[in-house]
Chains A and B, each alone.
Chain A
Amino acid sequence: MKAVCWYGREDVRVEHVPDPHILNPRDAIIKVTATAICGSDLHLYDGFIPTMAKGDILGHEFMGEVVEVGAAVTNLRPGDRVVVPFTIACGRCQACTAELWALCDNSNPNAWMLEKLYGYSGSGLFGYSHLYGGYPGGQAEYVRVPFADIGPLKIPSTLADEQVLFLSDILPTGYMAAEQCQITRGAVVAVWGCGPVGQFAIRSALLLGADRVIAIDRIPERLALAASAGHVDVIDFAAEDVGQRLRMLTDGRGPDACIDAVGLEAHAHGSIGAAYDDLKTRAHGDRSARRPAAGDLSLRQGRHGVDSRRLRRLPR
């Protein structure tokens, strides 16, 4: 089959590789019909994530058609259309029982590596380095899905791929950010960054009852898309003083909750403001101020159950 393989910093190639096959009873093989490039794939592309090996297949946002299931998978059948969440979860450990899938105790075969690095391991992830299990990803024609009786969501034929693909990672990421804002009636939520995660965070905040969302970016198309959600004010940070505008838009109170949806690579590295932010974060002794590594990703995506204040920017 063909697959997108990582070969090094800014070196990604489409290669012919062996087809995956069932290794465990709870596996399934999926024929991929749609896949996306995640913002966090850029961390791999830019070489920020350790323990990538040459030839590793990328991709953790994908969906497709079940072609084969292991003996222990009874809820899926060949022909089913599924979206596959990027966190691999066994469904039976204490974390999974509490629906904290990203903290699954059992799905990372290389848990010892993450424990060495961070003291604790999260779940295995598709196509996201050997620290996270070394699972081949979904930017390929076929992919093996472990614990397929737990993760995959069956999709009715009435919904097109494009309508559901983002359930794999990016929509839940934005939704979780909004969820962690504990939005109450009348709340105003400010969202920094109107890329894909920001757009989903904006719509999730409105869905969860925010009275208004203030969207902050500098790209006109992104701001226009954000405004199209309705009940959204926009701030172009290149043209306006963000703090001043926020106070104006909230009668001097400031927003009730803030979401940082700015990607690691997109932060204004080297600018005076970034250096000042870096200094502030260090002065606070915030543990999240470590230099970049995979753990930062999980913090930013809110997958480890952190509160919304910690979703703010992490310095490189």
Chain B
Amino acid sequence: MHQNISDLERLASVISGGAVIALSARQPRRRLAGLAMGTGLVLRGVTGRCPVTALRQQWRMRDDTRKALGGPRGIRLEASVTIARPVEEVFERFRRFDDLPNFMRAIERVDLSGERQSHWVIRAPAGLKVEWDAAIINDEPPTRLAWRSLPGADVASAGSVRFQALPRGGTAVHVLLQYEPPFGKTGASLASLLGHSPAALLREDLRRFKQVMEAGEIPRADHRAGGARTWFFNTIGARA
């Protein structure tokens, strides 16, 4: 938690926060809202960190992925999967970005706009969508693929995939994703609580990639065949 407002502003924040609480306390209808707003202002003053300023600063940095994702900023996701197919075949399939949404559920759409550029639409928590243009910054068939978002992205992000031919046959796929969580790390933790753990989504998407590569299809059970259903399986159970 770094201080991002001046000491004078902190003092003003505490005083005005206290005033809001005191004034609203006499008006029953506005008491709760006043208490929330006042507490927010007091906290802002005491901690010296303004969440709105932080968000504005974050948005300004977004255009440069190295700044946005460097150091402690940004979320880092890693996942690996082993696929019993030759490395060339696995690489080639992954490189067809516009085909990924067919089995990767976190990705809604990918439009190719050139040999090295593409537009990505990603499903975010609470039905939101985030979009960015990405450029491939490393394309070494069949072992390495890396990309980063271009200026103007909703979410600054970068990723790389390493494809490794295994001595026993098959391919190890190592994915590294970095992104700047839209509402900071607190937002990311909240989203995880709501069942949108990005790490789990990535794992499931890689599992489906493996299923498509190996089995040629994604396994499905016909849940409609049975009779009554519980809430659990209509919602949570249907997730995977």
Contact = CB atoms under 8 A, between A and B. Distances in A.
Q: For chain A, which range describes its interface: under 10, 10 to 19, 20 to 34, or 35 or more residues? A: 35 or more
Nearest to A93: B214
Interface in A219-235: none
How would you classify the secondary structure of chain B's contact residues: helix, strand, loop or mixed? loop
Contact of A134 (B207, B216, B223): B223
Contacts of A133: 219, 221
Contact of B222 (A3, A7, A20, A53): A20
B29 interface: no
B229 interface: yes
Q: For chain B, which range describes its interface: under 10, 10 to 19, 20 to 34, or 35 or more residues? A: 20 to 34
Nearest to B223: A134
A260 B63 CA distance: 65
A56 interface: yes
B240 A113 contact: yes
A53 B214 CA distance: 30
Contacts of B24: none
Contact of A136 (B217, B226, B232): B226
A250 interface: no
A105 B204 CA distance: 13
Contacts of A57: 225-226
A110 B222 contact: no
A133 B211 CA distance: 14
B26 interface: no
B200 interface: yes
Interface in B202-232: 203-204, 207, 210-211, 214-230, 232
A144 B240 CA distance: 20
A209 interface: no
Contacts of A94: 82, 84, 170
B237 interface: yes
A144 B229 CA distance: 19
Contacts of A88: 219
A111 interface: yes
Nearest to B211: A106
A130 B237 contact: yes
A17 interface: yes
Contacts, number: 110
A170 to B, nearest CB: 23
Contacts of B225: 3, 17-18, 20, 57, 136, 144
A112 interface: yes
A55 B224 CA distance: 10
A314 interface: no
A154 interface: no
Interface in A105-144: 105-113, 124, 130, 133-136, 144
A21 B223 CA distance: 12
B230 A92 contact: no
Contacts of B222: 20-21, 23, 136, 144
Given A53-B233, A112-B240, A97 B219 contact: no
B226 A26 contact: no
Contacts of A106: 210-211, 214-215, 219
B237 A110 contact: yes
B220 A130 contact: no
A109 B227 contact: no
Residue from B84, B219, B220, B240 having most chain A Cβ neighbours under 10 A:
B219
A5 interface: yes
Interface of B: 82, 84, 170, 200, 203-204, 207, 210-211, 214-230, 232-233, 237, 240
Given A17-B225, A136-B221, 9 more contacts: A20-B222, A21-B222, A24-B218, A55-B226, A57-B226, A90-B215, A92-B214, A92-B216, A136-B226
What 8 A-B pairs come out closest when comparing CB atoms? A55-B227, A55-B226, A90-B215, A134-B221, A136-B225, A106-B215, A54-B228, A55-B228
Interface of A: 3, 5, 7, 15, 17-18, 20-21, 23-26, 51, 53-57, 72, 88, 90-94, 97, 105-113, 124, 130, 133-136, 144, 146-147
27 contacts: A5-B227, A24-B217, A25-B216, A25-B217, A26-B216, A51-B237, A53-B226, A53-B230, A57-B226, A90-B215, A90-B219, A92-B84, A92-B214, A93-B84, A106-B214, A109-B240, A110-B237, A110-B240, A111-B240, A112-B240, A130-B237, A134-B237, A136-B221, A136-B222, A144-B225, A146-B220, A147-B215
